[in-house]
Amino acid sequence: RIFDNPHFDAHESVVFVHDARTGLRAIIAIHDTRLGPAAGGCRFWNYESEDAAIADVLRLSRGMTYKNAVAGLDLGGGKSVIIGDPRAIKTPQLMRAFGRSVERLGGAYTTAEDVGVDVEDMEHVRETTRHVAGLAHGAHASGDPSPTTAKGIVNGLRRAVAQRLNRDDLGGLLVAVQGLGHVGWHVCSRLHEGGAKLIVSDIDAARVERAVSEFGATACAAEAVLSVEADVFAPCALGAVLNARSIPALRVAIVAGAANNQLEDIADADRLHARGILYVPDFAINAGGIISVSREIAGVADPDWIAGRMHQLDANIAAILAEAEAERVSPHHIAMRFAERRLDAAGR
């Protein structure tokens, strides 16, 4: 059931895609196009059920609406998921079939990388649709968005550290990072360069070992990272990690990370606030990737364009945190208000 699914939020369209030859099963959700055509990544994940995939794509596409709005982009919210284990079923043919399904939407949705999908996959998607970004080649190609996402995460984390811990530099700061994938790795690298100490976790033991040797990080079991003592917790894996079960066990002052939909429920923003933990809203802090991708979508050649947008994003985070402190509410509510103001103005 879609229309009365708890995560359905007046989405404009939800498209189910199937290709018998390649085994492609995908869902493309377009949440809101008041600000422009929808844009958001494609996630390739071995969902435990179809319901789980539907919930994820509905939550992710809605998040993109708010992310694009806060980042000041003229893009709507959309996202896609491909169902299955990428290591078992991902082929160039399957990615081309996915591209054909994006092409059929006629530009209403532009895709890019997300969990389980890389630049090479997007090059295959490009063979069958123009509506793809995050490419390695072609006019205005923006490549992997993760380094820009990571830059925004560390900028936002610095803002939170300045406000909550009254510290201007990262030296000696203890950060627990969950997930050492595309973004998590770059986040660790930047934090390490800034002098922070790292506690790292990933379900992939090889990545943890690499982080231990490259960054001198301390390894932590995947399930333990949510209760480890640190200054900052940086969730850079999957969503819904902040919930009624995990929040009481957190032993950090700040949560600032890349993962989309970190809150299982909106009430979790208030749970964090009640515990005195400063939460930097995920959809605001992780917009660097979509900023990078949007330059390619818009065909902007100016090399300074991204830097200007990133500067604005940093200023927005600072304003969100300052307003939240002044109003004594979770920054999540302030970021939603920022986004809704833009969406309402565009709607009028």
115 contacts ligand NAD (rule: CB under 6 A):
yes
Residue nearest ligand NAD (C-beta atom): 181
| Least distance between ligand NAD and beta carbon 119 (Å) | 11
149 contacts ligand NAD (rule: CB under 6 A):
yes
238 contacts ligand NAD (rule: CB under 6 A):
yes
Tokens of 276: 């005195």
289 contacts ligand NAD (rule: CB under 6 A):
yes
Taking CB under 6 A as the binding criterion, the range among 25-33, 80-88, 99-107, 113-121 that sits at the site for ligand NAD is: 113-121
Residue 141 identity (one-letter amino acid): A
| Least distance between ligand NAD and beta carbon 276 (Å) | 25
Give the number of residues written for the chain.
348
The alpha-helical segments, DSSP class H, found in 91-204 are 92-103, 119-126, 146-165, 182-193
209 contacts ligand NAD (rule: CB under 6 A):
no
Q: Of these, 80, 286, 294, 316, which contacts ligand NAD (CB under 6 A)?
A: 286
H/E element holding 286? Answer: none
Q: List C-alpha distances in Å: 142 to 79, 151, 291.
A: 19, 15, 10
119 contacts ligand NAD (rule: CB under 6 A):
no
Whether residue 338 contacts residue 316, with contact meaning beta carbons closer than 8 Å, is answered with yes
Of residues 125, 128, 114, the one with CA closest to residue 286: 114
Taking CB under 6 A as the binding criterion, the range among 51-59, 86-94, 142-150, 164-172 that sits at the site for ligand NAD is: 142-150
163 contacts ligand NAD (rule: CB under 6 A):
no
The torsion angle over the Cα atoms of residues 324, 312, 66 and 269, rounded to 10 degrees, is: -30
221 contacts ligand NAD (rule: CB under 6 A):
no
Of residues 22, 72, 71, 64, the one with CA closest to residue 43: 64
Whether residue 175 contacts residue 232, with contact meaning beta carbons closer than 8 Å, is answered with yes
Indicate which residues carry an active-site annotation: 79
The torsion angle over the Cα atoms of residues 206, 209, 214 and 216, rounded to 10 degrees, is: 160
Q: Of these, 94, 97, 157, 236, which contacts ligand NAD (CB under 6 A)?
A: 236
Rounded-to-integer distance, Cα 121 and Cα 319, Å: 37
By rule CB under 6 A, what count of residues binds ligand NAD? 28
Taking CB under 6 A as the binding criterion, the range among 6-14, 135-143, 166-174, 177-185 that sits at the site for ligand NAD is: 177-185
* CB closer to ligand NAD out of 20 and 178: 178
* CB closer to ligand NAD out of 114 and 268: 114
Which residue's entry shows tokens 């917009």?
287
Q: Given phi > 0 = left and psi -120 to 50 = alpha, else beta, which region is 216? A: left
Q: List C-alpha distances in Å: 178 to 63, 144, 207, 347.
A: 20, 20, 11, 38
81 contacts ligand NAD (rule: CB under 6 A):
no
* CB closer to ligand NAD out of 55 and 236: 236
Taking CB under 6 A as the binding criterion, the range among 158-166, 167-175, 253-261, 313-321 that sits at the site for ligand NAD is: 253-261
Q: Say if strands 24-32 and 38-39 run parallel, antiparallel, or are unpaired.
A: unpaired
Phi then psi dihedrals of residue 135, to 5 deg: -90, 160
180 contacts ligand NAD (rule: CB under 6 A):
yes
| Least distance between ligand NAD and beta carbon 147 (Å) | 8
Give, as ranges, the residues between 8 and 47 that touch ligand NAD (CB under 6 A).
none
* Contacts with ligand NAD, residue ranges (CB under 6 A): 113-116, 145-146, 149, 178-184, 201-204, 207, 222, 236-238, 258-260, 286, 289
